Structure 1
Amino acid sequence: MEYLNIDGHHFYNMVVNASNKLENQKDFVNSLNVFPVPDGDTGTNMSMTFKSAVLEVSNSKDSSIESISKQLARGALMGARGNSGVILSQIFRGIAKGLQGKKQVNSEEFANSLQEGAKSAYKAVMRPTEGTILTVIRAAGESAVKSSKEDITELLQDVCSYSRTILNKTPDMLPVLKKAKVVDAGGMGLLIILQGMQEVLRDGKENVVVEEAHDKEVKSAVKDLGQQDIKYGYCTEFFIHSKGTCINEFKKKLETIGDSMVVVDDEDIIKVHIHTNDPGWILSEAIKLGELSKIKVDNMREQHRHLLSIENFEENSDEDKAYDSEKLSYEEKTESQKYALISVAMGDGIKSIFEDLGVDYVIEGGQTMNPSTEDILNCINKVNAKNIIILPNNKNIIMSANQAKEISNKNVKIVPSKTIPQGITAITSFNSDMDIDENISTMERALTTVTTGSVTYAVRDTEIDDISIKKGDILGLIDGKIEQVGKDIFEVCGELLNHMIKEDSELISIYYGIDCEEEKVKHFVEEIEKKYTEMDVQCYSGKQPLYYFIVSVE
């Protein structure tokens, strides 16, 4: 259909369809992540971010494109997860800026808004890298403003066509993509969004937010509850693709750590639904039975807070104040303190370590479950301290943490820890008697003293740096780079440590995951102590999912 102008109603339909399309293809986007590890979650992060954005405008009665785009940008900002999600939120914040003051727009005005989206995204990244989602949004903006099409349907067709062309060239811009024989995952996610927006105008159809049964159940389950009444905070749902698997033992395990459990076996697909406090452990157990898809994890406590606060969340005409965190603040500690420490971690053992080291709040998350900007902001609002220090402990969470810092009106500092061991070492160097700048400087220096290794498994066949990898192989990574491939977790971990240890190394720390057998770990540690007699060896039950070992050398 021809559209010479689009208003808020049209734009809403466009983004709803885009969100539904991305949700359906998020697993495909995840599969494009370069490393074949089980935490490749670009598609999941982008989908959850965009779904949060769309839900923000789902009940809007406003028909102006300015209002809808602004609400969408707000929802994306608060729901942003992972680096890809943060960049996506900035794209739509820029688009909203380009649509400011408009009830409806023509093709030229809409094209300018796409270019504003590209500018906003580039500004949000300290060191922009070409061959990523940034390149694709820039291509989209440039092709839009150069187009002479007055029909916005045709304009978006040109945008999608050129964006796909540029996306296909991303392997030539980033050697790591070419070696893995994939295009950029974030760029693909953005292309899917653009295609979803164009399809609505082309087909002239109405759309509704895809709200599956578990989404509706989460809302109804938490609406009338007090937060303290929610015993199990995460509504977890997913499919297991497995043939001839006996699920009785799996069901018995689930019964011990949750409620509202439903496990349905339909030939080669198992549908799982449960309320739990440890979704990571459940996913780790489930993946032993087969491949997982349609994974959904909702924080019901967060849903409850959101339902209580959403009616009080008034729109603010000032762009910066539109995201004022005060409207989302919750009950704080009554006594002000000099410092508050916030850390992100997954695994009950690792969470306990941070708590024992004096961390005030540990946000559940990490690999596969990046907390959103709002998750981090909510935690900031819970503490009453003059200085708040956040340790993301994951490179894919740093941008969300910084975004929460910018929204907050408190004195928040981010120590850019990229791994759990870095975060632990940084915490141990913290001194409450020092001023904030001294502490940040000391903690950041501590990060440089840590070399981190991890042991996990390959989720697909691939070849990286001339290393042939088969699905199911055990992978050893040092600071995010694959260094070892084998069949035995202990052999791979041992070789990994051998590569990590240097002449001046003094301390080895080993955090074993929920899938490791304690007796075998104990024997492995004894062998490590015999091999490196001059070093101090510490071992902890991290209980983290997906990673058999997280190790560090200092």
Structure 2
Amino acid sequence: MQTKIAANAQALKRWLGKSEEVLGNHSDRLNAINIFPVADGDTGTNLYLTVRSASRAVAQLPTTDVGELLAEAGRAAMEEARGNSGTLFSVFLAALADPLHGTTRLTGPLLAAALERAEIRCWSALSEPVPGTMLSVIAAATRAANSADAARNQDHSNHGLARTLNAVVAAALEAVVETEGQLDPLSDAHIVDAGAVGFLLILDALRASALGEELQPELLEGLHGYGVQAPHIHLDHQSEGMEVMCTINLSPLDAATLRLQLDELGDSVILSAVTEVPEGYRWRVHVHVPDPEAALAAIRRFGEPAHLSVTTLSAPDDGPDRAADPASTCGAGNADE
């Protein structure tokens, strides 16, 4: 049942709260099909905890500026982002805010511009972006928003926003279904990508919150691997190595140099600017490595990291408890706490 559309700051607070709730409800199933890029069974947990950080950061924020609200949510998410999926979502959220500063209401054209900005930032944040993941869903959502009548005709009406959001969710669902055929591990396991499904849930929460409607659980019907009785696919895959995450202040040149060094040491490298600081920018750093010591040494050559965590990439049922680096300057905790 639809109520009056009010896509303002309060609606975006509801979006983050609703996203936190739906990801909490679906975290176990998202974990169960999490096998790419590593089968560590924590995509649902990581997305949930990252979105929770964003939601709680702005729950009481006294602003009507939707750009300001999303920028603060993005900063909070970036500082406490968990895993590949959480880090990528935090990049998305922070970038989404850029074209919305100074506005008090989301519209179809503004959503299209914000999604386009977020897509660019997300693809550029990864050293080796891979289709068939959350990135593909972001790209599909962006294309749908920019192809909608509202964006092409600069229609800022509520009706235009509704049509745009419905098109975005429909395109996102199609992109989720297509992930199964885009990555060999997903094709072999006959499942869709966990991060992609999580992002679909987030987009549907945005649609519901902005339009005053309910979530659409039927979106998930028929997604391969997502049935309630389906097995935990990740338990059939072995993962090795460690995940290193932190925030650190770097100049753009130092950030580029660190990215090159981390690319040589591991994979799944993500570097994205959080906010401007005297030294340049505060960056969120994420990498998977066989041995964390070389990565930690490379990072510390540029300064002392904060929010540092070093965790195993094995699935929770298969490996030792995840542990944070004791030298963290900000009391990093268990990545799945």
| SS of alignment partner, residue 128 of structure 1 | coil
Query: Is 1:160 aligned with 2:169?
Result: yes
Query: 1:167–1:35: structure 2 CA closer, same or farther, 3 Å change rule?
Result: closer
Residue 183 of structure 1, aligned match among 192, 203, 206: 192
Question: Residues 410 and 123 of structure 1: is their aligned pair in 2 closer, same or farther, counting only changes over 3 Å?
Answer: closer
Matching residue of 1:59: 60
Change (3 A) 1:168 1:56: same
Give the equivalent residue in structure 2 for 1:198. 207
Alignment CA distance shift 1:94-1:14 (3 Å): same
State how 1:434-453 maps to structure 2 within 5 Å.
Answer: none
What is the match of residue 39 of structure 1?
40
Closer, same or farther in 2 for the Cα pair 1:54/1:407, shift >3 Å?
farther
Counterparts in 2 of 1:123 and 1:63: CA distance versus 1, 3 Å: same
Amino acid at match of 2:88: I
Aligned partners of 2:148 and 2:163 also within 8 Å = no
Q: Distance in 1 between matches of 2:280 and 2:115?
A: 32
Q: Distance in 1 between matches of 2:293 and 2:163?
A: 53
* 1:418 maps onto 2:289 in alignment: yes
Q: Give runs of aligned pairs for residues 356-375 of structure 1, distance below 5 A.
A: 373=246
Asked if 2 retains the 8 angstrom alpha-carbon contact of 1:395 and 1:418, the reply is yes
The answer as to whether partners of 2:274 and 2:281 remain within 8 angstroms in 1 is no
Could you tell me how far apart the structure 2 residues matched to 1:408 and 1:47 are?
A: 32
Please state which structure has a larger fraction of its residues in strand: 1
Report percent identity of matched pairs: 23
Q: CA deviation at 1:186?
A: 1.2
1:111·1:145 contact (CA, 8 Å) conserved in 2? Answer: yes
Contact conserved, 1:391 with 1:415, CA < 8 A, in 2? no
- What is the alpha-carbon distance in structure 2 between the residues aligned to residue 135 and residue 424 of structure 1? 33
> Contact between 2:74 and 2:94, CA under 8 Å: does it hold in 1?
yes
Q: Distance in 1 between matches of 2:208 and 2:52?
A: 18
Determine if the alignment matches structure 1 residue 25 to structure 2 residue 26: yes
Q: Is the contact made by 1:57 and 1:68 (CA closer than 8 Å) also made in structure 2?
A: yes
The alpha-carbon deviation at position 127 of structure 1 amounts to 2.3
Q: Work out whether residues 3 and 201 of structure 1, in 8 Å CA contact, stay in contact via their aligned partners in 2.
A: no
Alignment partners' CA distance in 1, 2:46 and 2:79: 13
Question: What letter is aligned with 2:117?
Answer: E
- When the two chains are superposed, the root-mean-square deviation of aligned CA atoms in Å is 4.3
Counterpart position of 1:97: 98
Q: 1:409 aligns with which of 279, 283, 292?
A: 279
Secondary structure class of the residue paired with 2:13: helix
Equivalence for 1:10: 11
**C-alpha spacing 1:457/1:86, structure 2 compared with 1 (3 Å):** closer
Secondary structure (helix, strand or coil) at the match of 1:191 reads helix
Equivalent-residue separation in structure 1 for 2:131 and 2:37 (angstroms): 22
| Structure with greater helix percent | 2
2:182 corresponds in structure 1 to 173
How many residue pairs end up in the alignment? 267
Name the CA distance, whole Å, in 2 between partners of 1:455 and 1:95: 29
**What TM-score results when the alignment is normalised by the length of structure 1?**
0.41
- Decide whether aligned partners of structure 1 residues 412 and 62 sit closer, same or farther in structure 2, where only a CA change above 3 A counts: closer
Matched AA of 1:20: E
- Between 1 and 2, higher relative CO (CA 8 Å, sep ≥ 6) is seen in 2
Q: Distance in 1 between matches of 2:122 and 2:171?
A: 19
Partner of 1:48: 49
Mapped to 1, the partners of 2:24 and 2:244 lie a distance apart of: 18
| Aligned-partner Cα distance in 2 for 1:202–1:415 | 35
Letter of the 2:270 partner, please give it. Answer: M
1:33 is paired with a residue whose SS is: coil
Identify if the C-alpha distance between structure 1 residues 203 and 141 changes in structure 2 by more than 3 Å, giving closer, same or farther: same
Label 1:52 to 1:372 Cα distance change in 2 as closer, same or farther (>3 A).
farther
The Cα of 1:101 is off from its aligned counterpart by: 2.1
1:521-536 equivalence runs, <5 A? none
Q: In the alignment, residue 119 of structure 1 is paired with which amino acid?
A: I
Distance in 2 between residues matched to 1:410 and 1:184, nearest whole Å: 35
CA distance in 2, matches of 1:21, 1:202: 17
For the 8 Å contact 1:118–1:138, the answer to whether it is kept is: yes
* Counterparts of 1:152 and 1:426, CA distance in 2: 45
Contact 2:30 2:43 in 1 (8 A): yes
- C-alpha offsets along residues 241-281 of structure 1, whole Å, 9 cap, x if unaligned? xxxxxxxxxxxxxxxxxxxxxxxxxxxxxxxxxxxxxxxxx
Distance 1:425 1:47, change over 3 A: closer
Aligned to 2:114: 113
Q: What is the Cα deviation at residue 140 of structure 1?
A: 0.6
Per-residue Cα deviation, 1:485-511 (whole angstroms, up to 9, x for no partner): xxxxxxxxxxxxxxxxxxxxxxxxxxx
Query: What CA distance in whole angstroms lies between the structure 2 residues aligned with 1:415 and 1:95?
Result: 20
User: Does the 8 A contact of 1:4 with 1:151 survive in 2?
Assistant: no
Letter matched to residue 152 of structure 1: L
Of structures 1 and 2, the larger Rg is shown by 1
- Give the letter aligned to residue 409 of structure 1: E
Which residues in structure 2 correspond to 1:399-548 (within 5 Å)?
399=270, 409=279, 418-419=289-290, 422-424=291-293
TM-score w.r.t. structure 2 length?
A: 0.65
Amino acid at match of 2:13: Y
Aligned equivalent of 1:83:
84
Q: In 1, are the aligned partners of 2:71 and 2:94 still within 8 Å (CA)? A: yes
- The structural deviation recorded for 1:85 is 1.5
Q: Aligned residue for 1:214?
A: none
Give the residue type in structure 1 aligned to 2:132. G
